[in-house]
């Protein structure tokens, strides 16, 4: 008989608080053994959502659960190969509970692990996630304003336009002007995501190691901004004045839409991903514009070639804005570049690592916890220094 949603929630809560009876534990483990990743993820996320940001989620009985994992593994070793799929599901589900005790969403292993690692809270040789916005606003006259050291309210007056820092830390522009004055918002490595409201009410979110150059007021026949790194745009519709996002390799033109631009210098391509509306992409080789539809991603290589794909995971693309690290068959190079930007560390590869990784955790996680998740595959190991992470197989 299938378990109801309320029953599953009860069993997860009972187990995490060490109140489950032996029969309830068996019922929970039986459900986990049959479970699929998405239902498990949803139930755990719903449970965690009931806790406030400063409230500790009840811890799990690590030793008991770990022994359950080992017992199941030993049973699998003497069972026919046809039971391996059930073991894979069970190991993934058990890892969910391991991380549930620490307040993380989920971590799945899509292959049979040699050993499932017990994740513990970091103590030493660790790097904390950024807890402030270290962004710098450069005004048209060259004056620099370090945003985390300023209070809320008016930061500067540029002609008839006021630059305002809102109560939530967001930067906004109020007023109109016919003068062409430009500001640059730079968000360095090791800084939280910052958001910006432009003069036309369009919104922009900047990832770490990113910058945006833009006018304090839009005039003429277009709204043009320049981006480096990664930014997500929600553009206010104005048919008479298209919105243009440019960088060294591409120009994206829109009327009103939602899209993400990943244009880091250390990535092999510029990726433009459309969530809503439509955009026209032009590259440095000046070929015909490429029209991108919702749910599609255009990858632009170093010589301006465009590869269009509709097989893009939008949740993975937008994970950075939603406060997550999300990896679905990601290579270690891409993962470590994200880690380098977010935690403001340098990464050294002692030897190549040929493996794909699957994980999803909040970005406010200490780096040691994230790395232990990747180490659970036994395909990679890390050494954390003061400002350096070494990667080895």
DSSP for 138-165 reads EPTTS-EEEGGGS-SEEEEEETTEEEEE
User: Could you count the other beta carbons within 10 Å of the beta carbon of residue 18?
Assistant: 11
Beta-carbon contacts of residue 221 (< 8 Å; ≥ 6 apart):
240, 241
| DSSP states of 208-246 | TTEEEEEESS--TT-EEEEEEEEEEEEPPP-TTS-EEEE
Write the burial class of residue 205 (CB in 10 Å: 0-12 exposed, 13-18 middle, 19+ buried): buried
Q: What is the pTM of this model?
A: 0.72
In angstroms, the CA 126 to CA 359 distance is: 19
Name the nearest CA neighbour of 332 among 364, 301, 359, 300.
359
What are the extents of the domains in the chain?
5-100, 136-315, 330-392
pLDDT at residue 357 in the model: 84
Helices (H), the chain: 5-16, 22-34, 37-49, 62-77, 84-100, 314-317, 332-343, 367-375
Count, residues in the chain: 393
pLDDT at residue 172 in the model: 94
The class of domain 136-315 in CATH terms is mainly beta
- What CATH architecture is 330-392? 3-Layer(bab) Sandwich (3.55)
Q: What is the mean pLDDT of each run of 10 residues along the chain (393 residues)?
A: 74 70 77 56 54 42 48 49 40 45 33 34 70 93 89 87 90 87 96 95 97 94 96 95 94 93 95 95 85 95 90 93 89 95 95 84 86 81 92 90
pLDDT at residue 114 in the model: 32
Write the burial class of residue 43 (CB in 10 Å: 0-12 exposed, 13-18 middle, 19+ buried): buried
pLDDT at residue 33 in the model: 57
pLDDT at residue 80 in the model: 44
* Kind of pairing between the strands at 182-187 and 171-174: unpaired
For residue 53, give both structure tokens: 């940001």
Are 223 and 243 in contact, with CB atoms under 8 Å apart?
yes
User: Could you count the other beta carbons within 10 Å of the beta carbon of residue 218?
Assistant: 22
Are 105 and 44 in contact, with CB atoms under 8 Å apart?
yes
């Amino acid at each position: 008989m299938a378990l109801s949603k309320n029953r599953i929630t009860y069993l997860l809560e009972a187990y995490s608080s060490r109140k489950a009876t032996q029969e309830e534990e068996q019922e929970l483990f039986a459900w986990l053994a049959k479970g699929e990743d998405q239902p498990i993820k949803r139930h755990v996320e719903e449970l965690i959502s009931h806790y406030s940001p400063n409230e500790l989620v009840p811890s799990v009985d690590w030793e008991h659960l770990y022994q359950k994992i080992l017992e199941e593994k030993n049973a699998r070793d003497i069972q026919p190969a046809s039971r391996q799929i059930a073991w894979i599901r069970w190991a993934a589900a058990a890892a969910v509970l391991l991380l549930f005790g620490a307040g993380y969403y989920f971590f799945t292993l899509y292959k049979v692990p040699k050993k499932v690692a017990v994740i513990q809270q970091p103590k030493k040789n660790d790097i904390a996630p950024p807890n402030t916005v270290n962004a710098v606003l450069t005004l048209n006259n060259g004056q620099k304003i370090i945003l985390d050291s300023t209070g809320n309210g008016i930061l500067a007056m540029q002609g008839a336009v006021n630059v305002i820092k809102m109560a939530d830390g967001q930067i906004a522009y109020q007023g109109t002007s016919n003068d062409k004055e430009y500001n640059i918002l730079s968000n360095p490595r090791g800084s939280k995501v910052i958001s910006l409201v432009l003069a036309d009410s369009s919104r922009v979110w900047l990832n770490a190691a990113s910058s945006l150059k833009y006018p304090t007021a839009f005039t003429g026949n277009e709204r043009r901004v320049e981006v480096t790194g990664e930014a997500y745009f929600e553009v206010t519709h104005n048919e008479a004045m298209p919105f243009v996002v440019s960088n060294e390799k591409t120009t994206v033109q829109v009327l009103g839409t939602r899209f993400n631009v990943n244009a880091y210098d250390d990535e092999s391509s510029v990726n433009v991903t459309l969530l809503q509306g439509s955009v026209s992409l032009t590259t440095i080789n000046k070929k015909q514009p490429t029209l991108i539809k919702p749910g599609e991603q255009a990858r632009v290589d170093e010589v301006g070639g465009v590869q269009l794909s509709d097989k893009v995971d939008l949740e993975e693309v937008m994970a950075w804005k939603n406060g997550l690290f999300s990896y679905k068959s990601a290579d270690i190079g891409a993962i470590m570049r994200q880690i380098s930007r977010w935690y403001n560390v340098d990464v050294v590869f002692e030897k190549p690592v040929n493996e794909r990784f699957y994980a999803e955790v909040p970005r406010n996680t200490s780096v040691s916890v994230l790395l232990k998740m990747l180490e659970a595959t036994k395909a990679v190991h890390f050494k954390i220094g003061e400002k350096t992470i070494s990667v080895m197989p």
